[in-house]
Amino acid sequence: MTPAMRDALQAVGRRVTFASGDILRHKGAFAPDMLLIEQGEVDCALSDAGDVHLTVGPDTIVGEIGFLTGKGANATLRALTPVEALSLDSSALQRLQRETHAIAADILRLLARLIQNRTEQNEDLLADIDPRDDGGFEIVRCSTLDQLRIAQRVRYDVYCLEFGRSSPYADADEGTIVDELDGNGTSFVAYHDGLAVGTVRVNLGRDGDFGILSDLYGIPGTPFSIEDSSIITKYAIREAYRGGSAYIRLFAAIGTFVHASGATAIFIDCNPELARFYATMGFTRTADNFVHYENGLSVPMVLDLVDYLDRMSFAERYRKNRWR
């Protein structure tokens, strides 16, 4: 990386710090950015068992494969020393391309080479490690327009064709549902053996005004500010996959992404018959029922993400200790 590239990234990035021992990324988790390490050292655990490691230091970009391809993190990243880094998200790269065209082109070429080299390196290091059995499922964060269009088509198939509902945002000719919340939302698609079987979209309060949604979901009456909040604004699973792994995997992707984004609450609306199910996960009602233009009668609920993750961490520790 040239000094000019480094200066350009420093101008658009957001500075973040980590203490020694902090986890920067969990393997398989989703994040809204990649990191340029400026000071300190980071351990990269590539295998699920944690027995394949790399150590990286200053002037190293990490998290770029997941960020740029939309896939979960390839490694668990842990700070070996205090770490100072630059957080580089989509808005940072857009600003870079607007303000410094030539340098931005050099950085994009650098990222392309980095992805190729890292992928080949990871494959070599993990060649003798048994692959993780994911049941044929893969979750992808939509990082391109083509990926987003797949999500929009799954919405149409589920809401309009399977449920037989209408939507003011449906385009029957294109077979898509597209609305203004796609502008600053983040969508994920679940694939099973290559088939897109479900999608979910989350909108973060820090990325734009929720408008009427703030009142419908009862955000002002909760302990959470708009900046601390996220709303799941689309959830569509094909009939053959409802109630199965696709839902859980998509929700896990949302949870890791929202947590990495710094939000502490996930708001959702659900059909009244599903309210009890969400309550078992820790969601609580936030306001009166309202009518959703695609879902019909809906119950607004919220999940305290910090409390939820604490409970999941305790449950995992309890499970491991119990079976020792």
Do the beta carbons of residue 30 and residue 256 sit within 8 Å? yes
Give pLDDT tens digits along the chain (324 positions).
889 999 999 999 999 999 999 999 998 899 999 999 999 999 998 877 666 788 999 999 999 888 888 888 988 999 999 999 999 998 999 999 899 888 999 998 888 888 888 877 766 665 655 555 567 889 999 989 999 999 999 999 999 999 888 888 999 999 999 999 999 999 999 999 999 999 999 999 998 888 899 999 999 999 999 999 999 999 999 999 987 788 888 998 999 999 999 999 999 999 898 899 899 989 999 999 998 877 788 999 999 998 888 776 644 443 344 433
CB within 8 Å of 121: residues ≥ 6 apart: none
Alpha carbon distance 100, 5 (integer Å):
10
pLDDT of 323 reads: 39
- Tens digits of per-residue pLDDT, 46-69? 877 666 788 999 999 999 888 888
In order of their start, the domains of the chain are 3-125 (2.60.120.10), 137-313 (3.40.630.30)
Alpha carbon distance 156, 236 (integer Å):
9
pLDDT of 132 reads: 55
pLDDT of 317 reads: 43
pLDDT of 69 reads: 85
Exposure string over 7-43, b if 16+ CB within 10 A, otherwise e: ebbeebbeeeebeeeeebbbbbbbbbbbbbbbebbbb
Give Cα separations from 231 to 74, 123, 204, 268 (angstroms): 27, 36, 7, 6
